Amino acid sequence: MANINSQIKRNRQNEKNRVRNRNARGSARTAVTAARASFAENDPQTKEAVMKAISTLDKAAQKGVIHPNNASRRKGRLMKRLAAFLTGKPAADSK
């Protein structure tokens, strides 16, 4: 436990930010998982699921919850799988 006032305040701020950021990070993670699941199920709504995941990743990056490069990397992987899915070719990247 901190005994310096500035660190005590910092701990309070960190906890508030952690709780606030959980929503955005969790919804982004859920959307990406749903998009991956739609690939596995050959769902006709795959494109919409991927676009929703990209939107939530963009929102999380804009809020500073995840790093912009992290969001970009995840979006790139999803788009690569979507392109392979739409053309009927197997995707090389399974992440």
pLDDT of residue 59: 96
16: in domain: yes
30: in domain: yes
pTM: 0.83
50: in domain: yes
93: in domain: no
pLDDT of residue 93: 60
Give 70-86 pLDDT, tens digit per residue. Answer: 999 999 999 999 999 99
- Angle between the 68-87 and 5-40 helix axes, to the nearest 10 degrees? 0
The pLDDT of residue 95 is above 70 = no
Please tell me the total count of domains within the chain.
1
CATH of the domain at 51: 1.20.58.110
Residue 75 sits in which domain range? Answer: 5-87
Give 36-62 pLDDT, tens digit per residue. Answer: 999 999 888 999 999 999 999 999 999
CA distance 50 to 81: 10
94: in domain: no
Report the chain's mean pLDDT, rounded to a whole number.
Answer: 92
CA distance 89 to 15: 45
92: in domain: no
